[in-house]
Amino acid sequence: MTKEEAQELVADYRRAALLHQQKEAKEEGDIQPLKPLTVKERKANEALYRKVGSEWMAKKALGLVLLAGGMGTRLGYDGPKGTLNIGETKELYIFECLFHNLREQLNIASACEGSSDVTPTDVPVCIMTSDKNDERTRDFFKEHDYFGYGQENIYFFTQEMAPACDYEGNLLMEDENTPATSPNGNGGWYSSMQKAGLVDILKGRGVSWLNVFGVDNVLAKIADPLFFGAVISSGKTSGSKTVAKKSPQEKVGVMCKKNGHPAIVEYYELSEEQAGARAEDGSLCFGMGVILNYLFRLTDLDRIAGEHMPVHLAEKKIPYMDGDGIFHKPEEPNGYKFEILITDLLAYLTDCLPYEVVREEEFAPIKNKEGVDSVESARELLRKNGVKL
């Protein structure tokens, strides 16, 4: 990206971000609860859902998209997050955990009565990287023989980059000729896949649904026939795995209905009253936290692809070179990065099934160096689920 292109992009993104902020401030939006399929409800129909999902998987209808283009700055690991070894007595990489989980679900689908074998050929995986981690991610998969999944069933594609600016909107430079750029958020994955020609390849393989998930949840159940079957059986056109909020104050985005569409509302957008409101059965009305595990139909994604999704300003510490050629690594945020978010995608859909899962079984995120959502907390959950570390 040249300096001139970057300057133009900064101006475009800033305009879009400010417009979005103004729109949000003006419209409060009609926020309503969206009823989830609870764990209890799902259990009553588990055999049917698993059968439906497994059959569709055997028919090659499902493809996976792993969003691994993030910088993982909070973790502070100097490499693609998925290449982090979290093992204690043996090597166990984050990517390895995810492919292990995937295999487990393919085995479940294969063992399902009435379904034929479901193999990696039936469920291709697309991995989104960014310019900052693409080469290292590809090399890592090659070194580990694609975790036995078959190189021909794994596709890599890169997301777009966005330039960063200071608080006044001036472009920040990495060096004299290179604008400071970073991945543009996890919301532009589908258009990046289209540009890479991957959507056509997937359609050619028979794929009509995508299961999209993040790199940092080492307990993520992906290609889960139960989830897939439940969404199809519900007649809804998309699905989102959710976990029950621990408390009304928990800082997590929750599923809701906004202006008639499914949506994810951030914790700070809910009033205290809304956050604490309870349904007749005692559950929180806005209590279904999202865990970045979605099912979308390709037909909907094709329709949405031309839309201009909202641009968000993220205040960050951005290393830069000043006019005198001195390089700075700020300790405090010094400007903005621009991001498009997958959570905004739902608003373009007609409906979505919130699908509740048991938190301790399916949610072990690795975000931070220590404490909450760290390697240590994820290890503990892996141990509880019988994973040898």
**Residues in touch with ligand UTP (CB under 6 A):** 67-75, 128, 159, 183-186, 214-216, 292, 367
Cβ distance to ligand UTP smaller for residue 185 or 229: 185
Contact 192, 158 (CB under 8 A): yes
Cβ distance to ligand UTP smaller for residue 281 or 370: 370
Q: Which helix H or strand E contains 154, and what residues bound it?
A: strand 154-158
Q: Which helix H or strand E contains 10, and what residues bound it?
A: helix 3-26
Cβ distance to ligand UTP smaller for residue 216 or 224: 216
The Cβ of residue 374 has, within 10 Å, a number of other Cβ atoms equal to 17
Q: Residue 124 and residue 249: Cα distance in Å, rounded?
A: 38
Cβ distance to ligand UTP smaller for residue 208 or 334: 334
In whole angstroms, the minimum distance from the beta carbon of 149 to ligand UTP comes to 18
In whole angstroms, the minimum distance from the beta carbon of 57 to ligand UTP comes to 23
Q: Which residues contact 47 (CB under 8 A, 6 or more apart)?
A: none
In whole angstroms, the minimum distance from the beta carbon of 134 to ligand UTP comes to 11
Contact 289, 248 (CB under 8 A): no
In whole angstroms, the minimum distance from the beta carbon of 70 to ligand UTP comes to 2
Angle at 33 between CA 273 and CA 309, to 5 degrees: 105
β-bridge mates for residue 238, sequence order: 296
Cβ distance to ligand UTP smaller for residue 56 or 190: 190
In whole angstroms, the minimum distance from the beta carbon of 129 to ligand UTP comes to 8
Nearest to ligand UTP by Cβ — which residue?
Answer: 70
Distances (CA, A) of 264 to 66, 76, 213, 283: 20, 28, 16, 18
In whole angstroms, the minimum distance from the beta carbon of 71 to ligand UTP comes to 4
Cβ distance to ligand UTP smaller for residue 228 or 294: 294
Distances (CA, A) of 272 to 170, 248, 249, 275, 281: 37, 8, 9, 5, 20
Cβ distance to ligand UTP smaller for residue 54 or 293: 293
Q: Chain-centre distance of CA 214, in angstroms? A: 4
In whole angstroms, the minimum distance from the beta carbon of 107 to ligand UTP comes to 25
Report residue 158 as tokens: 């890169």
